[in-house]
Amino acid sequence: MAIRGIQNEDFEKLVRLYKSFFNTHNIFQKSEKEIIDYLKEQSEENALIVYDETNSIVGALFLVNFGQNENGSHKLWKFRHFAFQTKEVAQDLLEEAEKIVKNSSETSKIELTLAESEKEIEFYKSNKYILEGTLSNHYRPAEACFILSKCFS
């Protein structure tokens, strides 16, 4: 088991993980080539960490820094496309991502947006993420989107 940055040979394996995990996500319903192109483009802009288990990608997430104060002592983060095969993989990836976030600045905040069709809300709450709000019709019509967050100081 290794949690590490993305490598070029990981992208095809990553497509399989994302297609199985996000079965209603618009991006991951496209062709394999379109998904790989999207993932490569996103990984140039944002850190992509993967959970490699015996040469199989069983978890992944993008770490997106989407804001900071003037001197960089406080940063805002988002996890994008957090997918995993088991809760144990999710827990290990979450802990690694949080460690990266904590080490990036004096204080930080992670904000997550989860569609109600995603079943991970309780997982995040059990890891001290709080529900900050609910959005209507955010990703799809008649579907709620939940905003969760966690702060570090």
| Helix, coil or strand: residue 152 | strand
Going by C-alpha positions, the residue among 61, 101, 99 that lies closest to residue 83 is 61
Give me the residue label for tokens 């483009």.
41
pTM above 0.95, yes or no: no
Q: Under CATH, what is the fold of the domain 2-152?
A: Aminopeptidase (3.40.630)
| Helix, coil or strand: residue 39 | helix
Single-letter code of the amino acid located at 69: N
pLDDT per position as a tens digit, 3-56: 999 999 999 999 999 888 887 667 888 899 999 999 999 999 999 999 999 989
For residue 135, the 8-state DSSP code is E
How far is the first Cα of the chain from the last one, in angstroms, to the nearest whole number? 29
